[in-house]
Amino acid sequence: MRYIGSNCFSFRLFVVLLTSLFLSGGSLYAGSGAPITRKSPKHTLQAKGVIRDLKRTSKRAKPYLGHQDALLSGQSWMISYKDTLYETSDIYNVCGKYPYVLGLDLGFIEMGGEENIDRVRVWQREGAAKAHNRRGGIITVSWHMCNPVTDSTAWDCTAGNVVARIINDINIRDKYYSWLDIGADFLNKLVDDRGRKIPVLFRPFHECNINGFWWSGKACSNEEFIELWKITFNYLAIKKGMKQLIWVYSPYNMQTEEEIGARYPGDEYVDVIGFERYQLDARTLQEGAERFAEGVSHGIDMTLSFAKPRKKIVAFTETGYTGVKYDKWWTEGLGKAIANKRIAYVHLWRNGYSQSYYFGPCPKSTSCDNFIEFLDENSMRMLDYKIEE
C-alpha cells in the first residue's frame, strides 16, 4: 500500500506542477536552456503599434528609410561629448529630413566598454534613441557580440564551435547569459517621456548564413544556430520579460525559400524577416548596379514568398554601396531593387571611419541629387522633423 500511495502522490505532484507551470505562462527547459514548449509573450502596446505600422507600410509598398548611427556619426564627423541635441545627420543635411529608422549596435557593451564597435559611447546611444523616439521615429538594434570563449571580436572564429559551447557548456552559457544581462540593462533604459519602454527592432546574429561571425556559416550547424536563437529569445523575452523587443531574423542574400528556412528559428520566435545584401564592385558601375538590383529584387521576392504564409513582416534590413561610387546608384541600383516591393523599411549602413567609408548619402557625395530622386520615385517615408533655427 505504501508503494502504491507513493506512486500516486508522485503522479499527483507532477500533474500539479505541470498545471501550475502552464497556467503561469512559464516554460519547461531542456538542459541547453531551449524551451520544450511555450507560447510567445505578448508585446507591449507600444511594440504592437510599431508592428501594425510596419504592416501597413508594407502593404502600401512605401517603405521607411533607415540609417545606422544616423544621429551619431557621419562622413568625416563623430558626435561630440557636448552634443545633447542629436540633430546632426548626413541625410538631413542632404534632403532636409531624417531617416525614419535609427540603427544602433550593442557590440562591446558586453565587455563593459564605454564605446561600441563604431566608437559611439553608451550614454549617447541611449540619448539618440530617446531623441529619435520622441520625434516619432523607430529604433533598430543589432549586436556584434564578442566571442564568449575568447573575449575577442564577433569576427573571431578561432575557438571552434562557440555556439555548441554555449549550448552544452554550463560555464560558457552562464557567461553568455551575463552578457545578455548587460545588453538587456541598456535596452531597458530606453524609455519614453512617460517611462514606457521604447519598442526596439532587435536584430541579433545577422548574416547568420555566411562565413564571418562565430554564429554564422560553417561556424555552427543550422540546428545549433536555431538553438542559440531560442536560448537567447527565451532568456530575454520570457525570463527577463522584455516585451518591447520585436525580433528580426536577417540572413544574407538568400535566393531561395529553402535557404531562408534553413536557419529560420520558427514563427513563434520571429516577428520580422530581413533580407540583406551590399553592392560589390563590378567591371563597370552600371553593371554593378544592374547586378545588385536583379539579385536583390529576386531575393526580396523569395523572402516575401516565404513570409506570406507565416504572416511575417519583410524588410531590407542592411544594405549599401561603399562610398556610393556610382552617381545614379540610388535610382539605378537600390531604387530598381525595391521598386513596388511590399517591404517595411530599407536600412542603410553607417557613414564614418574614413573619407571614403559611407553607405548613406552625405553632402560631399556627387550622388545627392540622385538620392533625392530615389526618395521620390520609391515613395520612401522619412521623418519630417525640422531643426529649430
How far apart are the C-alpha atoms of 237 and 217, rounded to whole Å? 26
As a whole number, the mean pLDDT across the chain is 91
- pLDDT, residue 388, reads 77
- pLDDT, residue 22, reads 39
The Cβ of residue 356 has, within 10 Å, a number of other Cβ atoms equal to 10
The Cβ of residue 32 has, within 10 Å, a number of other Cβ atoms equal to 16
How far apart are the C-alpha atoms of 235 and 305, rounded to whole Å? 30
- pLDDT, residue 335, reads 98
How far apart are the C-alpha atoms of 303 and 297, rounded to whole Å? 10
Instruction: For residue 387, give Cα distances in angstroms to 80, 91, 103, 383.
Output: 18, 13, 20, 12
- pLDDT, residue 40, reads 57
- pLDDT, residue 27, reads 36
- pLDDT, residue 19, reads 41
- pLDDT, residue 39, reads 54
Q: Where does the pLDDT of residue 136 fall: very low under 50, low under 70, confident under 90, or very high at 90 and above?
A: very high
- pLDDT, residue 354, reads 83
180 has pLDDT over 60: yes
Question: In terms of Cα–Cα distance, which of 247, 207, 208 is closest to 225?
Answer: 208
**Of 311 and 22, the one with more pLDDT:** 311
